[in-house]
Structure 1
Amino acid sequence: MAESNATIYVTPVEWNNKLINNEAVYKPVHKGSLIGQLLPRYWLRQRQIDPETVRFGATEHGKPIIARGPVPLTYNVTHDSDMVVIACGSGESVGIDVMRVALPRRTSMDEFVGFVSEQATYRARERSARS
């Protein structure tokens, strides 16, 4: 895999924020989506790019993209539970996913980490076999 210059921002959502938590305006299921729409604009501001100079769009599968901007920019947003994550790049394709996991009952942390590591290794072998 090639080295990437992608940036990842992870933010816990402050659900007690009155604007975010106004259920008359935003249903709970849409809060992560709302933050996911704000994060790319925050990232643009961090790069001193006016979001008004950028046109947002979506791929045929619904993945949000920057359709037009002053420089090549890519990003991917994901959210689950109280986590919202964005990966940002300078034109290279980026992807990210986040999922809250719970330690299964009667499983030690070492056992859980071992299981997840085995699964990750298995998937990596599958990918390289297909390449």
Structure 2
Amino acid sequence: KAGKLRSAELLSRLGLGERLKNLPNQMSGGQQQRVAIARALIHAPTVVLADEPTASLDTERAFQVVQTFAALIHENNRAGIMVTHDLRMCQYVDRILQMRDGQLVKIYEDKKEILALAKGE
């Protein structure tokens, strides 16, 4: 019962509260992506790895998902590692490790720098 409640809570926070009984073929690609994110978070792992978690989402939903992802990570005192090419999503992170051609180029830890990067400055 606790697992079902946790599932419902996660799915609701990801904007899928009305889809609890739907099968995968009854959902859009973006909805399926959000279900995958909920599945990754359901057992509250110590570290969550997210490789392009917003790739198939529209901009508004992508921001919602990353914001929720970051909130859940902080609320549960977990570590999250997100790979993204969309710098706008970086406004919700605490640190950025910028890589180019497989090499670490720069580390951003200052929130002002991170926000400027997210805004394209």
Task: Give TM-score scaled by structure 1 length.
Answer: 0.28
Greater fraction helix: 2
More strand by share: 1
TM-score normalised to the size of structure 2?
0.30
1 or 2 for the larger relative contact order (CA 8 Å, sep ≥6)?
A: 1
